[in-house]
Structure 1
Amino acid sequence: MKWLDIPPVWLAGMAFLTWHSRGPLGALSFGYGIAQWIGAAMVAVGLILMVLAVLRMQAHRTTPIPHMSPNALVTEGVFALTRNPIYLGDIFILSRLILRWNAPLAVPLVFLFQFILLRRFILPEEARMKEHFGAEFDQYAEKTRRWL
């Protein structure tokens, strides 16, 4: 069942909850104007972050798959902006779904999802990176934010 414990499955679960919390809520509605354009930009940025991160990881012959040990510490490209561009992309995509489906009651799911990503994936990954790369990872973590 470890193969189910990956961010896309968690994102799908959050999307499911978002879908079921949607609906017109009068004053709580996002509307369909500027919010939709912002949402479209968010998903575009999220997907670009993800693609650029995976390409950079492939160039370094390391894995983007959680729960696996990295072969290289990638610190350039989008990884110079954020230590977690793929997870940040996931957050942007969930935020877009909330806007697109007009589900303001689902906004807390963004924070829940961020917490899940942090506890289940990011902290263990950072521990593995610290173990493998030592001071090099410490320097990277000191100068590069976890999110933005």
Structure 2
Amino acid sequence: MQIIDIPPVWLVLAILAARVIGQKEPMWLSFGGQWAQLMAGVLIGGGLILMVLAVYEMRRQRTTLMPHQEADHLVTSGIFSRSRNPIYLGDLLVLAGFVLRFDAVFALTLLPVFVWVIERRFVIPEEDRLRRKFRADFARYCHKTRRWI
């Protein structure tokens, strides 16, 4: 379970599931042509940009990127002033982009499932650790900044 318990693995598994769903169960449903491909690129690109901005800010603050490790600093600047979880939000955008790219209408059901898994496996435990370590600072941050957007 250790190898699978990092967010990129869950994202790759969800993308692969979307691909399989798109190939196996099209049932004549479609997102459309060129506009769907354009939107897929925008979502994937936007998600990757969010991730890069978050990684940059975490590196700048010299804190860990690993979700199950103790944070050295509470990062509230940069992209983290807009979302407490920009990397996971980026993951969701990337997944949504691939669902469009694969024209996998039924794979849209993966989006809430993915959010549920990410929240349970990573977001809630991370926030619990931050709440214990940074107490009042984290409470102020939560009051000021939403979990997702």
TM-score w.r.t. length of structure 2: 0.95
Moved over 4 A (4+): none
Alignment of 1:1-148 (within 5 A): 1-23=1-23, 24-26=26-28, 28-148=29-149
SS in 2 for 1:127: helix
Shift in Å, 1:29? 0.5
Query: Counterparts of 1:104 and 1:116 in 2: how far apart (Å)?
Result: 20
Q: Structure 1: 5+ residue runs without aligned partners?
A: none
How many Å separate the matches in 1 of 2:104 and 2:143?
A: 36
Shift in Å, 1:73: 0.5
Deviations 1:27-57 (A, max 9, x none): x201222111111111111011100100100
CA-CA distance at 1:4 after TM superposition: 2.3
The alignment partner of 2:83 has SS state of coil
Identity of aligned residues (%): 45
Count of matched residue positions in the alignment of Structure 1 and Structure 2: 147
Per-residue CA deviation, residues 59-104 of structure 1 (Å, 9 max, x unaligned), is: 1100111100100011011001100000000000000110000000
Q: TM-score, normalised by structure 1?
A: 0.96
